[in-house]
Amino acid sequence: MSGVRKMRLQLIRVVPADSGRPDARDAQRADRHRAGPTAAQLWSLRPDGTLKNHGMAKHPFRSDTALAAGCSMWHVGGWLATGPVPAAGQAALVGAVMCLPTLPLAWRRAHPWVSFGGVVAGYCVWLPTVGHRMTNQIAMLFVMIALYSVARWTAPPRSLAAPAVVGAVLIVPELERTAASGAPVYGLVLEGTALTAFLLGIPACVWLAGDGRRRAHEDAARLRELAGRLRTERELKARHAVLTERARLAGDLHDVIASQVSAIAITARTAEGEQARLIAATADQALEEMRRIIGLLADGGEAIEPRASLADLDRLLKVVEAAGCRVTGPVSLPEHLSPSVETSVCRIIQEALTNVVKHAGPTDVEVSLTEMPLTVTVTNGPQAPGHQAEGGSGLGLIGLRERAALYGGTLEAGPHRGGWRVSAVLPAAERT
């Protein structure tokens, strides 16, 4: 009954008393839905800062159809405003011929070559029939749009044929007009040469603009693909570093804690009394749980490396000093640290000192250990002059953070007074 009563209370809270009537917010949402997407919804920025159009990009034919319709109205309107008035029975025919160079633009992205051929053919039909000098520049603009589309969506050398065709279409009628002007021969040669260079330069510039846009788009696509591969590779490397560090932690657990618990269990079995048997049973249970944790940590990792010790740290300090670094601070660990904590501290110091040699070169290094909570800090000075720093992947720090998290701690690394500082806090490492 209590479950039914709770359900009724939830229904009372969710369903309003006048749910049959839409409130003001529902009415606003309905109005927005009927009005269609807003400009802010259609246009937005990509992560790299470039502008993207959701509506137009998904439906290029719609936007190209709108472009073709707008160009048609512009062409016809310009002709009616400046050209001769057609006869009553020829108005429809003239309007149809005026639309021949514009309507194929609706396929300029879906089928760029078909659109280009239709625009050029329409221009060639329009020019000798109803062409007017005042609207000739407008018609040439439509040809240039089709040429740009071919260069934008078709790779060379195929697209190189388009500017040649446009140049021929533009040059031939102009040369005929120049030859019919009756000018002297040398004047015709000079004018024809200059006109040819000018009319060939315009299609060449348009083709270069379209081909440049195509190459920029392809380069951006390759960069996005490369960035995706690098991101995947970085994630895999980070995962590998985590698994490797877990394998090391599993080795530490196996070498230190598991052996100590086994000794407790063996000692308890040799003793007598109920408490001794309870200790033995508890130790066996702890060993079983320890084996399970070791299996989880070592799953997927590489071969378990031997446990780091103070001797390893001493050897590393000698290598660092031989590389020219001046190390100050404690060279020994506190005596009360457990073996597992000692291993973690050694690992942190080893990784930090190794990074100093790789990235900073001969410089001053300070190692500090404080307690309550246990804090390990390695600070180095500025990079040595002339030292070429090696590139780092950051995987070592990922492993150290994983190790610090095992003790409920954190590890921070970053610039410090011109150098670098690595600081790890291990609050759960203190032995009670």
Strands 364-370 and 419-426: unpaired
pTM value > 0.75: no
Q: What pLDDT does residue 366 have?
A: 92
Q: Please report, for the domain that includes residue 397, its CATH number.
A: 3.30.565.10
Q: What pLDDT does residue 178 have?
A: 64
- CA–CA separation, 112 and 164 (whole Å): 16
Residue 420, token pair as written in the block:
């670098």
Q: What pLDDT does residue 102 have?
A: 93
Using 50 as the pLDDT threshold, list the residues of the chain that sit under it.
Answer: 1-27, 29-30, 32-45, 47-51, 54-55, 301-305, 431-432
Residue 335 within a domain: yes
Residue 314 within a domain: yes
Residue 179 within a domain: yes
CB-side exposure of 8: number of CA atoms within 13 Å?
5
Q: What pLDDT does residue 43 have?
A: 44
**End-of-domain residue from the set 153, 171, 205:** 205
Residue 320 within a domain: yes
Q: What pLDDT does residue 61 have?
A: 86
Q: Tell me which residue range forms the domain holding 129.
A: 59-205
Peptide bond into 184 cis (omega under 30): no
**End-of-domain residue from the set 160, 181, 205:** 205
Q: What pLDDT does residue 140 have?
A: 87
Residue 213 within a domain: no
Q: What pLDDT does residue 23 have?
A: 46
Let me know the angle formed at the C-alpha of 350 by 345 and 355, rounded to the nearest 5 degrees. Answer: 130
Strands 43-45 and 410-416: unpaired
Number of domains in the chain: 2
- CA–CA separation, 267 and 425 (whole Å): 35
**End-of-domain residue from the set 177, 205, 233:** 205
